[in-house]
């Protein structure tokens, strides 16, 4: 499992949309550890059972190379992140079990074991095996992105938004998605101090738009939408500049006019955008199944 990380495209992360839409709070370095693990997930042939035990070895050298860090800083980041996994859970919502406003959900600890081996520069984690179906063998209803796309993003809340955008990107180079403000607050477990819209805008939204535009291959614009006098939804429009470049090169090579859409590997039809209009329960950092 200890495969070298190469600083090039092709280190794909695939996760279930249920995980993209889950409620949890992790640090930047905890997210980075999960990215490394998910990028190493072996392919599962269609129809075969998922047998991965969730065990991953993280080499300091791999982490340092992946995130452009000196070995000493990489080792400290990994150790601190692993220590902070203690007590961390992820809440997967199960709408088929909802009863009115009472939400059905499953809550899982992220890790069942973490091992530190500083004398040989290795760390080992066991991701909860119950989470493996959300990370392996996915054929539909999944979110995918290359690890290099998120390497430059340093804010874990911005990482969450980037994943949400990728959920609705599919195979396209542009698209849109509308997210409920309350859904974002609950699923990303934003601090209670972000509950006021001016604080939400200043501390999360403006920061996220700036960081994604400056440090990733997406270019996004956001439009606030009101219900009555309150801002309740955010419409994100995005363009993947790397995919746009590849499309132009392909058109030049084929000497063909631009294509009019195309099939994505999500259920959503191309060009229609998407909407997560869930009025998520709870305030601030509460995943709250019982509003």
Q: Are residues 223 and 119 in the same domain?
A: no
Q: Rounded to 5 degrees, what are φ and ψ at 266?
A: -110, 165
Question: What pLDDT, on a 0 to 100 scale, did the predictor assign at position 262?
Answer: 40
Going by C-alpha positions, the residue among 149, 181, 162, 141 that lies closest to residue 238 is 162
Taking 90 as the threshold, does the pLDDT of residue 10 lie above it?
no
Q: Are residues 165 and 110 in the same domain?
A: no
pLDDT at 121: 84
Give residue-wise pLDDT tens across range 134-170. 999 998 999 999 999 999 999 999 999 999 999 999 8
> Does residue 173 form part of some domain?
yes
Number of domains making up the chain: 2
| 60 within 8 A of 122, measured Cβ to Cβ | yes
Neighbours of 61 (CB within 10 A): 16
- Domain span at residue 216? 153-254
- What tens digit of pLDDT does each residue of 248-265 get? 888 887 765 555 544 334
Between CA 215 and CA 151 the distance in angstroms is: 9
User: Are the CB atoms for 190 and 183 separated by under 8 Å?
Assistant: no
Query: 164 lies in a domain?
Result: yes
Mean pLDDT of the residues in the chain: 86
pLDDT at residue number 260: 53
| Same-domain pairing of 87 and 181 | no
DSSP string, 127-179: E-GGGGGGTSS--SSEEEEEHHHHTT---HHHHHHHHHHHHHHTT-SEEEEEE
């Amino acid at each position: 499992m200890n495969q070298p990380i190469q600083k090039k495209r092709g280190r794909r992360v695939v996760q279930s949309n249920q995980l993209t839409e889950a409620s949890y709070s992790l640090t930047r370095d905890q997210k980075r550890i999960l990215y490394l693990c998910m990028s190493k997930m072996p392919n599962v042939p269609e129809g075969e059972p998922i047998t991965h035990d969730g065990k991953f070895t993280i080499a300091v050298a791999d982490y340092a190379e992946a995130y452009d860090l000196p070995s000493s800083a990489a080792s400290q980041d990994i150790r601190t992140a692993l220590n902070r996994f203690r007590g961390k859970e992820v809440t997967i919502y199960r709408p088929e079990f909802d009863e009115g406003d009472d939400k059905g959900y499953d809550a899982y600890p992220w890790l069942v074991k973490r091992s530190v081996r500083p004398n040989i520069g290795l760390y080992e984690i066991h991701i909860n095996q119950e989470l493996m179906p959300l990370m392996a063998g996915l054929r539909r209803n999944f979110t995918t992105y290359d690890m290099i796309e998120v390497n430059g993003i340093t804010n874990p809340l911005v990482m969450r938004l980037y994943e949400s955008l990728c959920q609705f990107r599919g195979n396209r180079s542009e698209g849109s998605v509308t997210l409920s403000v309350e859904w974002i607050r609950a699923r990303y477990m934003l601090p209670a101090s972000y509950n006021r819209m001016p604080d939400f805008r200043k501390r999360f939204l403006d920061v996220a738009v700036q960081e994604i535009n400056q440090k990733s291959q997406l270019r996004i614009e956001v439009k606030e939408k009101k219900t009555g006098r309150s801002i309740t939804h955010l419409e994100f429009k995005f363009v993947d500049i790397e995919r746009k470049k590849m499309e132009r090169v392909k058109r030049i090579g084929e000497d063909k006019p631009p294509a009019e859409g195309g099939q994505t590997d999500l259920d959503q039809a191309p060009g229609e955008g998407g909407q997560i209009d869930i009025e998520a329960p709870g305030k601030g950092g509460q995943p709250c199944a019982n509003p």
